[in-house]
Structure 1
Amino acid sequence: MVVVNVGSCVGCRRCERSCPINGIIFENLPIKCMHCDKNPCLYACPENAIERINNKVVVIEEKCIGCGLCALACPFGAIRIDGVALKCNGCYKRDVEVCKEVCPTGAIDHLEDLLCSKLENTLNKFSKLHALYAKMR
């Protein structure tokens, strides 16, 4: 999952310029595909042109008919239609996304680690609450 820390982003657009798919920019901030677990874009595609590869949601351009249903289904607005659907593919063939490598402030990588940490803490708290609830029954 690629997340941008808006507070650290300086709007240099290096991520956009280095992106092989030419990422989507809104008001000088990059919008990246979240590679959702339930990936609504994948299920909205009538041609099965969107697949999960190496845990990334990827458009198979040869199959895409450019209908735009995936863009409508995306809750983050991270898909644009230019003949075919275009979106961040998470550099699924690489170990590290290009945008993360070129970001001078670490704005793309920093928040992702923070979110993962907060999610882990929240899950631990819910597990403890569930254990307490189970004892009370």
Structure 2
Amino acid sequence: MHEHIQVIADKCRACRRCEVACIAAHHNMTFKEAMKHRDELVSRVHVVKTDNFKASVRCHQCDNAPCCNVCPTGALQQEEGRIIVRVQFCVACKMCLAVCPYGAISLENIGMPHVDDDSETMAQRSRREVAVRCDMCQVWREQNGKKVTACMEACPARALFMIEPDGTVVELPPLEKKTAVEAAAKTF
């Protein structure tokens, strides 16, 4: 078993805070900044909502992952069970998107954005798409000393929980509801 996130669909409110938190964590932004850029940046988790179902979808860290097996360049690799993306090898062929049983892989543009003037830098010319998927906020967790992912932290319904490789379930405690007296006291 590999470290992965699971969702309690009955608790999910489809508020999309997990998506914004993911953008913030992977682009070194505050939550507020990520809200402003959520239409132009790619989240590695996606909320699915129908009339009868709401859930946050992400990489399931599959054993013998189909995305890794189909990748023609070796950009997607499974190392010690963890799936990693080596963006330098990704050619955006979209084969991984086609075989992922969860629809958990997206394409994101990397490199410098183009400017409106005629001068273009090498970094702007080399802007390209690469595959991205949930990486369990590995870098963000290490940089911030966190045990849980950004999406777990942001979920007001506490609909997300982590399963560690040994089977241990990691949940955040429920959010405390503020009393009307506490809320009124903060307005002064």
TM-score by length of 1: 0.71
Paired AA for residue 98 in structure 1: A
Identity of aligned residues (%): 32
Q: Which of 63, 69, 77 does residue 43 from structure 1 map onto?
A: 69
Structure 1 stretches of 5 or more lacking a match? 118-137
Shift of 1:55: 4.4
- What does residue 6 of structure 2 align with? 3
Of the candidates 138, 149, 157, which is equivalent to residue 97 of structure 1?
Answer: 149
Residue aligning to 1:76: 102
Alignment of 1:2-21 (within 5 A): 2-19=5-22, 20=26
Q: Which protein has the bigger helix share?
A: 1
Distance in structure 1 (CA, Å) of the matches to 2:161 and 2:6: 7
| Residue 48 of structure 2: aligned partner | 26
Report the 3-state secondary structure (helix = DSSP H, G, I; strand = E; otherwise coil) of the residue aligned with 2:72: coil
C-alpha distance in 1 between matches for 2:79 and 2:46: 21
Moved over 3 A (4+): 52-55
Q: What one-letter code is carried by the residue in structure 2 that aligns with 1:105?
A: A
Distance of 2:136 and 2:158 partners within structure 1: 17
Q: Deviations over 1:70-119 (max 9, x none)?
A: 11111111112342212111112324211112211210118x59xx58xx
In 2: Cα distance, 1:54 partner to 1:108 partner: 24
Instruction: Identify, as 1 or 2, the structure richer in strand.
Output: 2
SS in 2 for 1:2: strand
Q: Structure 1: which amino acid aligns with 2:88?
A: E
- Distance in 2 (CA, whole Å) between partners of 1:16 and 1:56 is 21
**Matched AA of 2:149:** E
CA distance in 2, matches of 1:24, 1:105: 16
Q: Distance in 1 between matches of 2:5 and 2:21?
A: 15
Do the aligned residues in 1 keep the contact of 2:8 with 2:55 (CA within 8 Å)? no
1:58 equivalent among 70, 84, 107? 84
Output the CA distance in 1 between the equivalents of 2:138 and 2:61. Answer: 11
Q: Which sits farther off after the overlay, 53-62 or 96-105?
A: 53-62
Tell me the matched-pair count: 114
Contact 1:54 1:92 in 2 (8 A): no
User: Gapped runs of 5+ residues in structure 2?
Assistant: 27-41, 109-128, 142-146, 169-188
Q: Normalising by structure 2, report the TM-score.
A: 0.53
Q: Which moved more, 1:3-12 or 1:77-86?
A: 77-86
